[in-house]
Amino acid sequence: MSGHHDVSFLAPKETSFKSVWAWVYTLDHKRIGVMYLAATLLAFFLGGVFAVVLRTELWEPTRTIVNEAGQATVTGRALFGWKENGQQVTANNAYNRAFTLHGTIMVFLFIIPAVPAALGNIFLPIMLGAKDVAFPRLNLFSWYIYVFGSIFAIWSIIHGGVETGWTFYTPYSSSTNWGGVTSMVLGAFILGFSSIFTGINFIATVHKLRVPGMGWFDMPLFVWAIYATAIMQVLATPVLGITLAMLVFERLFHIGIFDPALGGDPVLFQHFFWFYSHPAVYIMIVPGMGIISELIAVNCRKRIFGYRAIAFSSIAIAAISFLVWAHHMLTSQTAALNAIFSALTFLVAIPTAIKVFNWIATMYKSSINLNTGMLYAMAFLFCFTIGGLTGPPLATLAVDIHLHDTYFVVAHFHYVMMGGTVLAFLGGLHHWWPKFTGKMYAENPARLACIMVFIGFNLTFFIQFFLGTQGMPRRYATYVDEFEWMHKISTTGSYLLASGLLLHLMVFIQSLMAGAPAPKNPWGGLTFEWETESPPIEHNFPHEPVITHGPYDYDTEVPPHCDPREWPLPDQAKVAALSHH
């Protein structure tokens, strides 16, 4: 084998042109992953800006970013588009566009691809001991589709914005005449293909590229989670594709399938949409759960409690996720179906609960390294438990009638998505940052930022549960005075949250500019990615790695490239006694 195999995958080529070309036409899963990471972080920033804007609008009961005459202020106009189809930006449209763009960008451009396509792309093949994903060209193609779809989505912002909500409910979305809807819908349609191809790639990789000797239950739990996610991506996303295509047809050709004015059925659209979008929220959270399994096992130096239960629960969530979609429609569909879907929805809560119990049980009698990654894992457990436990009230029929489409749902959703996926993503980013950049980050500033994010997040969203039970509907630009104090707390929290995230950005920039070189295995992990260089070499390993132990055998193994004196093993006699049970 030639010499370039020993070079870091990030290393530039001989000439700058070749270097650029090597990124543009790379088939290396790690480079594609890094490109995804850059793109999704950009989308996260953009979505975050809209979030801060909409929280600012809610600072006062009446209008903040639009003036009393009902027109957008300069800020409002600058943010929400200058092409107005001959219409004024009316009172609330600025706000409506802010939350729509926040939702669409965060969901389609950030959360769905963030963990699987960015971190998954970089680490899934390495964790399997493979040189690359199964279909490297398809992988690159997925990235370009993602960029192409994102351009459509961004274009819609310039082209007057979108104000349908990220759910695009008909007949509002099929009848509204703001310019951006069609291009945003097309953007989401195209992004769906990126998601599908990534999912196909990962399933084939897991099936066919595990290193010889690695059985299904020797796989790291992150891989299990990505695998379960990929199943959902493949089986659910095409329905989103056809839904959005039919919505575009509805807008362009007035096919009348969803449009009641032509004899169609708007509830049918909701079924179509949620058949994808409910699995989609598991597409968003399950990879985050995979990261948490890694973070807790590595930083606790402990064999994960109930490995098989966690692995199977990922698959169970994937399977059940297809049966619960209509709990989003408890006020719009028929009573008989409500009863069915309420019951099915509780099923999905069980594997989720099992995971949380297992993670916390792993911490028992362990050796916990409270680095930023572990802090995020604990923050995740705190927030995700709240998010998870506020799900059952929403699945309980009589309660959901009251809470549906209120801030309770907003808070629940953000506790799961932001408090779950995003915190897990940030934890995973810190966990693997030294590995794929080759640079350490500054631990204490990162910890501070983590605490700011955690407090800011809870400040922002916890109060929203009470807003919801008191009856504040979501997607409201103006509200009655009695909710003001709660909105003020929430907005304050969002600023703290944003500051914490900016501090993270600074920590990362500092690390890239002047970070200390990372060792091969800074946290003492046992999975394959910690055996290779930091950053990994071009084909991941100089030789095909050999599997000698399970991913979490901390009882019997000293992690590779770690000093055995610093990593004393537990009392082997006790381990042996336990394993005889």
Partner 1 sequence: MTHGPASLYDTVDPHETLSKDEAHSAHLHVTPYWPMFWVFMILLALTALTVWSSNVHGFWIGNTEIVLGGTAHILIAMTIAVIKAALVAMYFMHLKYDQPMNTVIVGATIFAVIMFIGLTLADSATRGVMDPMEHKQVVHGGDAHRAADGTFVKGKGQVDAARENAKAKETNPGHGETKPAEAAPSGH
Partner 2 sequence: MLTTGSQPVLGLPPLTLGVEWWDKLWFNGNVGTSTFSHLSDGAFFYTFWSSAVFFVILMYLMFWWAWKYRRIPGVAPEVSPSHNTALELTWSIVPTILFAIMFIWGLVAYIPMKIAPADSEVISVTAKKWAWSLVYDNGASPLKTERIADMDAPIFALPVNRPTKFIMSSQDVIHSMYLPAFRAKRDVFPNFYTGQWVEPTKVSHQWNESEKLWEPIDPLHKGYYLTCAEYCGDQHSQMWGRIMVLSEGDYQLWKAQQADTGSIPLDVLGATLHKSKGCVACHSVDGSTGTGPSWLGVWGATEKFKDGGSVVVDENYIRESILEPGKHIVEGFSNQMPSFQAQITDREILSLSIYIRSLSKNQADKDAAAAAAADEMKKKTEAKP
Partner 3 sequence: MTSLPAESAAMDRELEPHERYVPGHHWRNAQDEMEAAKLGMWLFLATEILLFAGFFCAYTVFRYWYPENWHAASRHYLNWKIGAANTVVLLLSSFTIVLAIRGAQTNRKGMMLVNLFITELCAAFFLVVKLGWEYAPKWQKGELPGGFFTYGGHDASHDAHAATEHASWFSTLLSVDHGHYVTNAYDHIFMSVYWISTATHGFHVFAGMIVIGWAMWMAARGHYGPKHYTSLENIGLYWHIVDVIWIFLFPLLYLV
Which residues sit at the interface with partner 3, rule CB under 8 A?
Answer: 130-132, 134-136, 138, 196, 199-201, 203-205, 207-209, 212, 234-239, 241-243, 245-246, 249-250, 253-257, 259, 262-265, 268, 271-272, 539
| Residue closer to partner 3 (CB basis): 104 or 237 | 237
With tokens 């890094």, the residue in question is 34
Q: Which SS3 state, helix, strand or coil, does residue 439 take?
A: strand
Binding residues for partner 2, how many (CB under 8 A)? 111
Residue 337 interacts with which of partner 1, partner 2, partner 3, none, CB < 5 to 8 Å by class = partner 1
Question: Does 303 engage in binding with partner 2 (CB under 8 A)?
Answer: yes
Count CB neighbours of 405 within 10 A: 16
Q: Is the peptide bond before 171 cis (omega within 30 degrees of 0)?
A: yes
Question: Does 231 engage in binding with partner 1 (CB under 8 A)?
Answer: yes
The token pair at 212 is 């010889």
| Residue closer to partner 2 (CB basis): 303 or 439 | 303
Continuous H helices in 178-306: 180-208, 221-253, 266-300
Question: Does 323 engage in binding with partner 1 (CB under 8 A)?
Answer: yes
CB of 278 to partner 1, least distance (A): 12
- Residues numbered 191 to 230 that lie near partner 1 (CB under 8 A) are 207, 212
Question: Does 336 engage in binding with partner 1 (CB under 8 A)?
Answer: yes
Region of 70 (left: φ > 0; alpha: ψ -120 to 50; beta: rest) is: left
Residue 340 interacts with which of partner 2, partner 1, partner 3, none, CB < 5 to 8 Å by class = partner 1
| Residue closer to partner 1 (CB basis): 55 or 271 | 271
Q: Which SS3 state, helix, strand or coil, does residue 473 take?
A: strand
The token pair at 479 is 């509200």
Sequence-distant (≥ 6) Cβ neighbours of residue 551 within 8 angstroms: 127, 218, 219, 220, 221, 297, 526, 527
Among 27, 211, 267, 319, binds partner 2 (CB under 8 A): 267
- Residues numbered 87 to 116 that lie near partner 2 (CB under 8 A) are 87-88, 90-93, 95-96
Q: Where are the beta strands (DSSP E) in 406-454?
A: none
CB of 416 to partner 3, least distance (A): 25
Question: Does 346 engage in binding with partner 2 (CB under 8 A)?
Answer: yes
DSSP labels for 519-575? PS-TT---SGGGTS-SS-BTTB-SS-----S-TT-TTT-PPTTS-TTTSPPP-HHHH
Residue 489 interacts with which of partner 2, partner 1, partner 3, none, CB < 5 to 8 Å by class = none
Question: Does 289 engage in binding with partner 2 (CB under 8 A)?
Answer: no
With tokens 């069609």, the residue in question is 182
Question: Does 188 engage in binding with partner 2 (CB under 8 A)?
Answer: no
Among 335, 398, 513, 514, binds partner 1 (CB under 8 A): 335
End-to-end CA distance of the chain: 47
Q: Which SS3 state, helix, strand or coil, does residue 90 take?
A: coil
- Residues numbered 438 to 467 that lie near partner 2 (CB under 8 A) are 466
| Residue closer to partner 3 (CB basis): 229 or 237 | 237
Residue 326 interacts with which of partner 1, partner 3, partner 2, none, CB < 5 to 8 Å by class = partner 1
| Residue closer to partner 2 (CB basis): 146 or 552 | 552
In whole angstroms, give the CA distance from residue 286 to residue 176. 35
CB of 211 to partner 1, least distance (A): 11
Among 138, 234, 255, 309, binds partner 2 (CB under 8 A): 309
Region of 160 (left: φ > 0; alpha: ψ -120 to 50; beta: rest) is: left
CB of 434 to partner 3, least distance (A): 25
DSSP state of 168: T
Report the chain's C-alpha Rg in angstroms: 24
CB 329 within 8 A of CB 405: no
User: 452-464 in b/e burial notation, b at 16+ Cβ within 10 A?
Assistant: bbbebbbbbbbbb
CB of 319 to partner 1, least distance (A): 8
Among 10, 245, 268, 347, binds partner 1 (CB under 8 A): 268
Question: Does 334 engage in binding with partner 1 (CB under 8 A)?
Answer: yes
User: 136-169 in b/e burial notation, b at 16+ Cβ within 10 A?
Assistant: bebbbbbbebbeebbebbbebbebbbbbbbbbbb
Residue 322 interacts with which of partner 3, partner 1, partner 2, none, CB < 5 to 8 Å by class = partner 1
Residues that bind partner 1 (CB under 8 A): 207, 212, 231, 235-236, 239, 265, 267-268, 271-272, 275, 322-323, 326, 333-337, 340-341
